[in-house]
Amino acid sequence: MTRRATARGAARTSLDGRRADVIVCGASFAGLSVARELAGAGADVLVLDRYEIGERATSACAVPTPWMAAMGVEAAARQVLPGMSFTTPRGGRVRYALPWSWTAFDYRTLCQLLWEQCGDARFETATVHGRTGDTVHTDRGDLTAPLLVDAAGWRRVLTTPHVQPPDAALSRGLEVHPHDPQGTDLDVYLDRDLIRRGYGWSVPAAGERRVGTLSYDPRDHVKQPTRRLAQELDVETVRYQGNWFPHALQQATTGTAFCVGDSAGHCFPLSGEGIRTAFYFGIACGRELRTVIDGDQTREQAADRYTAFHERHRAAFTRAARLQRLIPALPPPILSVLLRTMSVQFVVDRAFGWYLQQAHPSLAARPPGPRAPHGRPIEHATLPR
């Protein structure tokens, strides 16, 4: 449930003129993953967010379980979901037993666990308005750092022009969080009468259920579909949470700032899954920044290498974007048959194995340091089957 803890009024002292080695704008999945990689680097790392860490979640908070251990955040887990079901009006319910499970977690706890791994990094609540060169403009004054990270989500606060719906490549999602003990799997609802281009979901989280809908078309509203799905599932329409999120890769850097997570479009089209990708690209970005701090490469070289890493994933994002266009266009009977055909275990294992590989937790498992030799690209994760 949303709780406001952010400092107001006199508690919001001026930060004007503050300097740091790295300023990370956004203290959610992406920003904390970057800061975590800089722990022990001896750098002055300042993390900014308009809210306190973990104060405000806008997500169903489900990730592939292997990522929980990889990030050292298992204690935030609420429920492990071993399977996924897909329900269509004509085809009924098809269940897939996954080669890996999902875990529904508690946002506040997970953010706190990540923050505990961020070493000497400092945190301030401040709303970022924009940037001029190496200076970040906030509601608490102007702050400067040679290394800037935009991890503030789809709005891309360090970039102009800002991405704006409905013209931008954004999806929109809204969910309710009723207390409800039911559910064992991550359930997906594909019904064009419910939502024209998108899907509905139910994510059980040990006594709470996260029920929502997303639309790939930012012009389509999601409140009515979410209310309808909640009514169909017989759960209360309480504790609404929603946001926009990207479905197209953007640039990895803008000017001298590094973009990570939703700000770089690191959210998979089709599934709308953006937490593990925020971890994944946050780690990659953090490691590049660390080599700059260590004096092993320049900021420009780090930007080039991070951009190359980001671009190596473009094909997977493009494939998911094609499926995002194709699946809503399929005649419903064909979609139902396809979902049944795909439920063969061999196919499930292959499809979901491929999906996990696109942002694999083995990248996190590599301990920070020793540093990658100068000029060598960041290793692509080794990909166990």
Using CB under 6 A as the criterion, which residues of the chain lie in contact with ligand FAD when the complex forms? 25-31, 48-51, 56, 58-63, 127-128, 151-153, 155, 157, 173-175, 212, 241-243, 245, 261-262, 267, 272-276, 278
Q: Pick between residue 228 and residue 340 the one whose CB is nearest to ligand FAD.
A: 228
Cα Dmax for the chain: 62
Choice between 171 and 291, CB closer to ligand FAD:
171
Q: Which DSSP category does 316 fall into? A: H
Phi then psi for 356, rounded to 5 degrees?
Answer: -65, -35
CB of 129 to ligand FAD, least distance (A): 7
Pick the closer one to ligand FAD by CB: 282 or 328. 282
Is-contact 27 282, C-beta < 8 A?
no
Least Å distance, CB 163 to ligand FAD, is: 12
CB nearer ligand FAD, residue 242 or residue 328: 242
Instruction: Give the Cα separation of 161 and 116 in Å (integer).
Output: 34
What does 24-39 look like in DSSP terms, one character per residue? EE--SHHHHHHHHHTT
> In angstroms, rounded to a whole number, what is the distance separating the alpha carbons of residues 42 and 23?
14
Question: In this structure, what DSSP letter does residue 372 have?
Answer: P
Nearer to ligand FAD (CB atom), residue 127 or residue 256: 127
The nearest distance, CB 294 to ligand FAD, in angstroms, is 25
Q: Which is nearer to ligand FAD, 185 or 336 (CB)?
A: 185
Least distance between ligand FAD and beta carbon 374 (Å): 29
The answer to whether 220 touches 195, Cβ cutoff 8 Å, is: yes
Q: Are 98 and 82 in contact (CB under 8 A)?
A: yes
Rounded Cα gap, residues 363 and 207, in angstroms: 32
Least separation, in Å, of the C-beta of 346 and ligand FAD?
A: 26
CB nearer to ligand FAD: give 115 or 119. Answer: 115
Give the CB-nearest residue to ligand FAD. Answer: 274
Q: Which two tokens stand for residue 231?
A: 């009514």
Least CB distance to ligand FAD at residue 262 (A): 4
Minimum distance from residue 47 beta carbon to ligand FAD (Å): 10
d(Cα 102, Cα 59) in Å, to the nearest integer? 14
